[in-house]
Structure 1
């Protein structure tokens, strides 16, 4: 990805959020942003990249939006035009963030995009694509489906919004609960993508991770229910281990080999406090269960001291709530690490059809086959994982593992 593409990706969500706020029209806002990016593509290589790229794109996109609204000529647009034109001459917003019931522009727009007129999958896919900067490939990977299917889902969602005349109004506090599951899923998938860094040469996308954690902590203040607390705890547990995932010598270090002294104890303590607070509600939920699993990893003094039996029980509980093949895969891995290697391998083989295009499945299968001394099968599985990997660091790690198997 070249420099301009990285800038557009980093800035587009925030700019689009502002444009949707003024226009209440997602398609119009997207068109204005696209025009601004196109203008930047022509001007920046010649004139140089501005110091504040976000502000440049925001200003140009607002002007493009004004042009488009003028072309549409309606009484409603006159009010929108007035708001946008006034904003062009303001150094700061006249309304303070604390005056909103949802006190953050990005979070407000995520709630706005997660409109209950759409089904949850469509809400999440549309929001991730338009406001959060994830591309169709990344969203498809999160949903274990094809890029075509996700593209169609987003297209249908936009068509429904347009045909039904759905206006992007910021929901009131009373309307937040119905949108909460989709909003939490958006934040969760933003962090998931940051942690796995699907494409590129970096193991983690720090921009996405920081934004997801920031949004989750805002959510804790706004709606401190058990699943909100569970999601915040889950991300903090994972982020606390960030420094130990790589080193100057090893670009990727798996959990069992990590130096636990590098884990951020303050973040782990904050996450533990959140999960304890969540458990007081006695309302079981998937984010709380995943956070509890991460808590057990964080509490273990070593890989060997990990309470794999308890982790298995938690994955079984998670599977009851969310019976997905990925949860089943993680349960099988926990069984293997807990000493039930042969049964775990049977369970993983049974998932081959569901997870055939899922890179972590083949990497995990190859690991178990290696432990069982199924050398040829292990090489085959690791090779499939390499072919499915789009992340350079993960791919190099797997290639090294295959080389060791070939010796």
Structure 2
């Protein structure tokens, strides 16, 4: 195989198998940092050998066996860890480790799930959880993660290194938490995946309106989590939400890259495959819920996204049902972001004054650094026939955003509504 082809295979296999390698090696070595180093060594060995010798019949097995052999070598050099050397030698096998490999990785799925939970350990900050998840479970490079979150490579590298040290200092183990701790940690895992998605779907800063690579990675992680925890309705709800919202990505910008709002999107551009996958995931969540398992924010948000996906046009959207779903969501997962979105739904279902009433009930300092509230306020004011006030709200939203494309959009809406107000005064 040509070198370029072999290199592409190495990279593709690495992106798919990195979490499996790191998880299995962490279980064996009890050392997350060493496990990642061993996996990286196997990856480098593949880059060196596959272009010259050809891609092995089972690339994933080759990487696993190579990493385990390197682990044996590492422990052989460590006099204080002779006992672990013997255990790893038995796991890898001396004569031909390949035939016994399947038995060694019987619990790969459990290992990956443990790795996901480890990356979302409560000792870590949400930002560190996201970075470590992308690095160890997503297989992204430090440079890719840094680019996604608009920080220098060195900053992201330090963040990931600190996260690993924090886990080591906390004595974190590659074990599934149980009881209330598992429920809490699962919430953290889903929150990290959703954070990655939202940063890709509507970037908080920078020159790009969206970051499709982060959206794709979050959807992949959500699918993985749904496979690893199939009895949890919320993980299916999360997958459904990300698939359904992600389906709109091709229509969220025009040919020039400028943002396109939901009402103006060409729905023919929405990804039908993602919609079908999202609706199927939602159906799985609802089937589990029908057996008496409670659902939460992700299933409810997915149900809302499904209403948009089912509507052939913006005018066909069932806003009364969406507003009722937001009422349920506000009771299940209260918060200012939910209330702002509930205001949108009520404004569409019952008129702009109804939406403005929802916003009026929010605290004065709600979401003070976010453009979300003033932008929704401006939209409702515009629909209520109050263009001058709408222009001020859009201008405030433009001042708050750190995303260049979003700022351009909001400034344009401010200018348009300001013009409407001036026209109304002159007539």
**Is the structural similarity TM-score above 0.5?**
yes
Superposition pairs of residues 39-54 of structure 1, within 5 angstroms: none
Which of residues 196, 212, 232 is equivalent to 2:239?
232
Q: In structure 2, how many angstroms separate the alpha carbons of the residues matched to 1:28 and 1:13?
A: 20
CA contact (8 A) 2:251 2:270 kept: yes
Which of residues 383, 387, 394 is equivalent to 2:399?
387
Q: In structure 1, how many angstroms separate the alpha carbons of the residues matched to 2:235 and 2:333?
A: 17
What secondary structure is seen at the aligned counterpart in 2 of 1:102?
Answer: helix
CA distances 1:231-270 after superposition (whole Å, capped 9, x unpaired): 1111111122221112214621111011112222333223
- The structural deviation recorded for 1:29 is 8.3
Q: In structure 2, how many angstroms separate the alpha carbons of the residues matched to 1:217 and 1:79?
A: 37
What secondary structure is seen at the aligned counterpart in 1 of 2:316?
Answer: coil
Structure 2 residue aligned with 1:292: 303
The reply on whether 1:305 has 2:316 as its aligned counterpart is yes
Q: In structure 2, how many angstroms separate the alpha carbons of the residues matched to 1:14 and 1:163?
A: 27
CA contact (8 A) 1:124 1:183 kept: no
Q: In structure 2, how many angstroms separate the alpha carbons of the residues matched to 1:321 and 1:295?
A: 19
Compared with structure 1, are the counterparts of its residues 97 and 20 closer, same or farther at alpha carbon in structure 2 (3 Å cutoff)?
Answer: closer
Q: In structure 1, how many angstroms separate the alpha carbons of the residues matched to 2:103 and 2:208?
A: 37
What secondary structure is seen at the aligned counterpart in 1 of 2:402?
Answer: coil
Q: In structure 2, how many angstroms separate the alpha carbons of the residues matched to 1:183 and 1:335?
A: 31
Compared with structure 1, are the counterparts of its residues 270 and 20 closer, same or farther at alpha carbon in structure 2 (3 Å cutoff)?
Answer: closer
Q: In structure 1, how many angstroms separate the alpha carbons of the residues matched to 2:274 and 2:198?
A: 18
Compared with structure 1, are the counterparts of its residues 15 and 221 closer, same or farther at alpha carbon in structure 2 (3 Å cutoff)?
Answer: closer
Superposition pairs of residues 250-269 of structure 1, within 5 angstroms: 251-269=258-276
Q: In structure 1, how many angstroms separate the alpha carbons of the residues matched to 2:227 and 2:34?
A: 33
The reply on whether 1:325 has 2:333 as its aligned counterpart is no
TM-score, normalising length: structure 2 = 0.66
Q: In structure 1, how many angstroms separate the alpha carbons of the residues matched to 2:126 and 2:102?
A: 28
Structure 1 residue aligned with 2:348: 337
Across the two proteins, how many residue pairs are aligned to each other? 358
Q: In structure 2, how many angstroms separate the alpha carbons of the residues matched to 1:233 and 1:315?
A: 17
CA contact (8 A) 2:219 2:239 kept: yes
Structure 1 residue aligned with 2:415: 403
Q: In structure 2, how many angstroms separate the alpha carbons of the residues matched to 1:381 and 1:401?
A: 10
Q: In structure 1, how many angstroms separate the alpha carbons of the residues matched to 2:392 and 2:128?
A: 37
- CA root-mean-square deviation: 4.8
Compared with structure 1, are the counterparts of its residues 106 and 400 closer, same or farther at alpha carbon in structure 2 (3 Å cutoff)?
Answer: farther
Segments of structure 1 that go 5 or more residues without pairing to the other structure are 1-10, 34-58, 140-150
Q: In structure 2, how many angstroms separate the alpha carbons of the residues matched to 1:111 and 1:383?
A: 42
Structure whose alpha-carbon radius of gyration is higher: 2
Superposition pairs of residues 56-135 of structure 1, within 5 angstroms: 99-102=106-109, 108-115=114-121, 118=122, 122=124, 124-132=126-134
CA contact (8 A) 1:229 1:274 kept: yes
CA contact (8 A) 1:275 1:291 kept: yes
The reply on whether 1:276 has 2:280 as its aligned counterpart is no
Compared with structure 1, are the counterparts of its residues 181 and 376 closer, same or farther at alpha carbon in structure 2 (3 Å cutoff)?
Answer: same
Superposition pairs of residues 71-220 of structure 1, within 5 angstroms: 99-102=106-109, 108-115=114-121, 118=122, 122=124, 124-132=126-134, 159=166, 161-169=167-175, 179-220=185-226
Structure 1 residue aligned with 2:358: 347
Segments of structure 2 that go 5 or more residues without pairing to the other structure are 1-13, 40-65, 136-144, 151-158, 420-427
What secondary structure is seen at the aligned counterpart in 2 of 1:131?
Answer: helix
- The structural deviation recorded for 1:338 is 1.6
